Every structure is written in structure tokens, then in C-alpha cells.
Amino acid sequence: MERLGKNRGIANLESPTDSRKSLYSSFVWTDYKAQLQKRVRAEDLPKYFHLTESEKIGIQETIRLNVGTTPYYLSLSDPEDPNCPIRKMIVPRREESFFSPEETLDPLHEEDLSPVKGLTHMYPDRVLLFSNHECSVYCRHCMRGRKVSDSSERMETADLELCFDYIRNHPEISDVVISGGDPLNLSDPKIDWILENLEKIPHVKICRLGTRNPVTLPMRVTSDLCKIIESHNTDRLSIFCNTQFNHEKECTSEAKEAILKLLKAGVNVGNQCVILKGINDDGETMLRLHRKLLELRIRAYYMYDPELIPGSRGFRTPLAKGIQIIEYMRGKVAGMGIPQFVNDLPGGGGKVSLGPNWYLGFHKPSRNHVFRSAVRGTYHLSPEPVDSEYEEFYPEISEETWSKLLQNSYSAFKGLGPLGGSGK
């Protein structure tokens, strides 16, 4: 991690607002290549923020990936407010300088599950392809800091060809997730070449692009890029896109334009957010985000529990937070706006979903299941089929609990009235 030492030696400058205006007017705003060329680095941050002491220490002593943001994503942040959610994802803080005992470079053991450089084969039917090591913005919570912004992780054409060879030789693989870095930071011809190779492998039916560029550099989603994607989105290969919006401030008109272009190219777009301490770790913030995402025509997919990566203690939240958030959201937004709360298990165990306990158990004598309503908090009974052979499968509810709930429970024969009304 010594490569991060170049983030030292920062001088303070005044007028972040004026500095921002000068930056924004110095190039064509909609030119994504210019956005990348004008990326703000660690040494530039004092020009654009009134830094706190914690941020100064974080910039100088971070043990994580390099610092960088596009001017576009910078424009979503507040130069004065250290609690700005976008700012927290751009600027390192003091917590990034600590390698805590519970943290490790590769908590998911992806490298142990890598048969060739740049490919992780954790699940039988799918692989994760690391297409490159660069991103438009180096998010401080990035789970792959060991790879991202590290030039030694560059994927050359020969490396990618070895990945394709492995996929060709394993017919059980039907689904390829292209990640990085950010695959959309590659050139159009390189993206075209990667998709063409995947489309030619008969047993590969699904390709998922994992990109944050609709959030951090939406102007990268050009008409030319969408034509390339659409040309490979055929009856032989179905292309999806999973992006990562973490806060409603990221749901801009530019982001919506990028998403609409992808949708018109036939690409379904899903969102994988991460619960981040002090950014989105409460039900109302997540609810507002996912309502905005539906307006952008993005369906909820995953909500991740943060990984045990170096310098991430300042972002991690108790496991209960995720369960509370899902419980809060249920009934307040359509189901397609509620993500699955998942933990990607340390040690390479894969993802498991977690959620509130809506199911209380099975009352064997009456053959009824007891549920708690997410909308009302009331209790509801649902019978097991008479010919079922699964009675021993369910956790049993006690007679004491059953007696308490029975008089105030609802069923197919006793329903609730309108919200705020009484049952009948």
C-alpha cells in the first residue's frame, strides 16, 4: 500500500467556491474525456473544500486506494459541510489511516478463487471479470482497494484473452459479471471487443456490466457506447447493468439521461447500494434514495453490508441497521424499490440475504402459520395445505404465544379495514 504515500504534502488554498467555478468553466462539461483529464487528485482537494483536521490526516495518511473525482461528481458535494454524503465518499478521513484488527485486504478471498489473473470463480455458473483497474471516482468505501487505482493490476489484452479461454473451457459458466475498476472507463473499441468475445461463447447467456459511471460520470454513457452495447445485446447474449447510487443527491438529471440511454439500448438497470455510516444508514434516507431510483427507472437489487477492508471502520454499520432499514421501507414503496439486504460472507462464502422476521412460526394443532404485517404491525394467520408433509420443517410457535395472538389476529375470514380503521 506504499503507493498511497504520494498523497502527502498538501497546501491549503482559499475560496473553494471560486476554485470550483474556475474548474467547471475550463473545459466542455459534457465531454467525458475532459472530465477524466480534469479529475481532482489528493493534492487538489484543499482548493475545493474547507478541509477538517480529520480530512487532512486522512488525505496524508490513508492506507486505502488513491484519491480522485471527476469535476461532475465534485459538483454534487458541499465545500463547507464535512457531513455532506458525497463529500464523505470523495475525501478520506482520519479513520482511513487505521488498519483495524478485523480488516484484511481481501476479506472475500477473491484471489484464492481466481484461476487466472482477473477472474474470480466463486459460484458454479458465473464468474467475475476484472476488466481494468481504473474508475472515474475512487470511492472511499470501495471494497476492491487492493486492485483499484493500482497500476500493477492493469489488465492487458493477453490477460483478458486468458480469461476468455478459461470461460470457453468451462461450459457450466453462463453468466459473466464485468467489473473492475469500472469497465466503462475502457475505450469504446475495448468494450466492443470484450462483449464480442463473450457473445461468441455459446454457453455464456448473460453479461452484467458493473459500473458506477452513471453516478460519477454520466456523460460517459454516450450514444456511440450504447450502440456498441445494443449490437451485442442479442438473442445470444442478454446484457444487464448494475450501478451504485448510495444517496439521493446522486440522482441528477444527467444521471437519468444516462439511464434512459441504457434502457433504450435494451439494458435493464439495477442498483446495488452500500450501507455507509453517516451517509445513508437510516430508513428514511434509504427510502428517499429508492423512490428517486424508481423515478430514474432503476430497480432495486442489493443493499450491501460494508466489507471488512482496510481503513473502512468509519463506514461500517451494525448488521441490525440493514434489517431495520428494510423493515422501515417495506410498505412505503413498491416492492421493486426495496433491495435485498445481503452480506457477502468473509472467506468466500458468497452472498446471503437478511431481513426482518415477518414469520413468527407454525402452530401445529391448528396448522396455521403466524405472520407479522410489515404495513400494519398486525398478526395474520395462513393455513398449511391439508396434504402437506412439511409440518416438521417449520419452527413451532408456543401455545402461550398462540393464545395471546389469536384474538387479535386476522385471516382469510377476518380482514382489516382501511388504514386507520378497524377490522371487521
Facing residues of 409 across strands? Answer: 379
Which residues fall in the annotated binding site?
135, 139, 142
> What distance in Å separates the CA atoms of residue 43 and residue 266, rounded to the nearest whole number?
41
**Residue in the structure block whose three cell numbers are 467547471:** 24
Number of neighbouring beta carbons within 10 Å of residue 99 = 16
**What would the 3-class secondary structure string for the chain be?**
CHHHHHHCCCCCCCCHHHHHHHHHCCCCCCCHHHHHHCCEEHHHHHHHCCCCHHHHHHHHHCCCCCCEECHHHHHCCCCCCCCCHHHHHHCCCHHHHCCCCCCCCCCCCCCCCCCCCCEEEEECCEEEEECCCCCCCCCCCCCCCCCCCCHHHCCCHHHHHHHHHHHHCCCCCCEEEEECCCHHHCCHHHHHHHHHHHHCCCCCCEEEEECCHHHHCHHHCCHHHHHHHHHHCCCCCEEEEEECCCCHHHCCHHHHHHHHHHHHCCCEEEEEEECCCCCCCCHHHHHHHHHHHHHCCCEEEEEECCCCCCCCCCCCCCHHHHHHHHHHHECCECHHHCCEEEEEECCCCEEEEECCCCEEEEECCCCEEEEECCCCCCEEEEECCCCCCCHHHCCECCHHHHHHHHCCEEECCECCCCCCCCCC
Q: What is the DSSP letter of 305?
A: P
Q: Are 160 and 109 in contact (CB under 8 A)?
A: no
Binding residues for [4Fe-4S] cluster: 135, 139, 142
The string of pLDDT tens digits covering residues 59-106 is: 999 988 899 999 999 999 999 999 999 999 999 999 999 899 998 988
pLDDT tens digit at each of 424 positions of the chain: 333 444 444 444 569 999 999 999 999 999 999 999 999 999 999 999 999 999 999 999 998 889 999 999 999 999 999 999 999 999 999 999 989 999 898 899 999 999 999 999 999 999 999 999 999 999 999 988 888 878 888 899 999 999 999 999 999 999 999 998 999 999 999 999 999 999 999 999 999 999 999 999 999 999 999 999 999 999 999 999 999 999 999 999 999 999 999 999 999 999 999 999 999 999 999 999 999 999 999 999 999 998 898 989 999 999 999 999 999 999 999 999 999 999 999 999 999 999 999 999 999 999 999 999 999 999 999 999 999 999 999 999 999 999 999 989 999 999 998 875 544 4
Provide the pLDDT for residue 44.
Answer: 96
| pTM reported for the whole predicted model | 0.92
Give the tens place of pLDDT for each residue, 110-119: 999 999 999 9
Residue 417 has a pLDDT of 85
So where are the chain's domains? 119-353, 359-410
Dist. CA 299–CA 293, nearest whole Å: 7
CATH class entry, domain 119-353: alpha beta
Rg of the chain taking only CA atoms, in angstroms: 24
Q: Transcribe 154-193 into DSSP letters.
A: ---HHHHHHHHHHHHT-TT--EEEEESS-GGGS-HHHHHH
Q: What share of the chain is helix, strand, coil (3-state, %, to 5)?
A: 35, 20, 45
